[in-house]
Chains A and B, each alone.
Chain A
Amino acid sequence: MIAPGWFREDRLPHIYCTGCGNGTVINCTLGAVEEMGWKRNETIFVSGIGCSSRAPGYILTDSLHTTHGRALAFATGVKMAQPDLNVVVFTGDGDLAAIGGNHFIHACRRNVDMTVICMNNHIYGMTGGQGSPTTPPGAISTTTPYGASEPAFDLAELAVAAGANYVARWTSYHVKELTKAVAAGMQTPGLAFIEVRTQCPTNYGRHNKLRRVSDMIEHLRSHAMLVDKYNRLTAEGKPVPDGTFTVGELVRRNRPAMGVKR
C-alpha cells in the first residue's frame, strides 16, 4: 500500500463499492503528500458529504467531515486561523458544484492556499444515483430516467475562470499523472484545484451500460484528451469526438493568494 504511515489501517477495508475510483484517488493524494514530505501533525483533510467525502476518515491526521457542500467554507476557516497548516479538501461533484457551488467559486476567487481534489463521478453516488451538475447530456440517472437534458458543468474550466492558481484534470486511470498533478498543486501557493474523473460502477455505470469496472475505466481513458492536443485540433478547425474532455494542467499562475504560509 502507498504511504502506509498515513492510512488508518484499522478502518480498512473502506466502505466503497468494488472498483470505486475513490480509493485510487486517496492513494494518489497520499502518494503526493509523501512526495511533499509533509508531517502528519501539520496536515489536515477537510470534506463535505458524499462517498468521496468519506476519504478523510481513512487518513491518520486531524480532519473535518463537515456539512454537505460546506467543505471549502470550513477549510477557508482553518487556513485563515492557522496558515501554517497544509489543508487538503476532498469533495464530490454534487458536494462541490451543486449545493456547494457558491463556496467553490468564491474559494477560487479568494485563491485560498489549499489543495482541492474533486472526485467527479458525474452522479450523487451516496444517495443512490441522482443526476448532478456534471451528469453528461444523455446519461441515465434516477432523476434523469430519459437521459440528462441539461448541459454539464466543466469544473476545471470553472475553477480557471474563477481564479484558482493551479488547475488540472486527470482520471482515476491516470494514476502517475494524477499523483504528479496533486503534488504540483500542493507546491503552488493559492488554491489548487484537481478534478479527477472517477468511476462509480454502482450508481453511474450500472445505468449507463458500463456495469463492469473495466468498461468504466476504458470509457474514461478513451474520452480523455491531452489539453495541448485538444487546443491544436480546435485551432486547426479539426473535429473532436463527442464526449471528449481535456486532461492535463489547465493553468498555473501567480494571482495574489490568501492564507499562504508565513
Chain B
Amino acid sequence: MKLVIDESRCKGCNLCVLVCPYGIFGEGTELNSRGIVSPVLDRPERCTNCRLQALYGRMLCGVCHMICPDQAIAWVEEKPFEPHRVEVEF
C-alpha cells in the first residue's frame, strides 16, 4: 500500500506532521496549484499501515488519516507491487 495526500483536499494544516510517530510528514515549502503548502512525505514506505495493512487485513495506526480534518490522506494499492527495503529506526 502507498500513502498519498489528496492535494485537491489538503488545506495544509500540518496536523499530520504533528501526530505521525515516524515523522513521515514534514512541513512543505512550496505552494501547490491551489495556493496551499501541503506537507511533503519522507520515505512513506516506513508507515505501519503501508507495510502491514495487506498482511493484517485492517487499518494499522491510521492516526494521521483520522485526525486529518480534510479527509485528504489515503492509501492506494501499488500496481505493480513495488517491494521496498525498509529500515525502521526506533
Contacts and interface: CB of A to CB of B under 8 A. Distances in A.
Interface of A: 1-2, 7, 12-14, 16-24, 27-28, 31, 172-173, 175-176, 179, 213-214, 217
Interface residues of B, number: 19
A22 B13 CA distance: 13
A27 B68 contact: yes
Given A27-B68, A31-B66, 6 more contacts: A2-B71, A13-B72, A20-B69, A24-B15, A176-B66, A213-B13
Nearest to A198: B69
A17 B70 CA distance: 10
A13 B11 contact: yes
A197 B66 CA distance: 16
Nearest to B11: A18
Give the interface SS of chain B, mostly helix, strand, loop or mixed: loop
Contacts of B72: 1, 13
Contact of A217 (B18, B65, B70, B74): B18
Nearest to B73: A1
Interface of B: 8-9, 11-15, 18, 63, 65-74
Contacts of B9: 12-13
A245 to B, nearest CB: 20
A175 to B, nearest CB: 4
A13 B67 CA distance: 15
A196 to B, nearest CB: 12
A179 B15 CA distance: 18
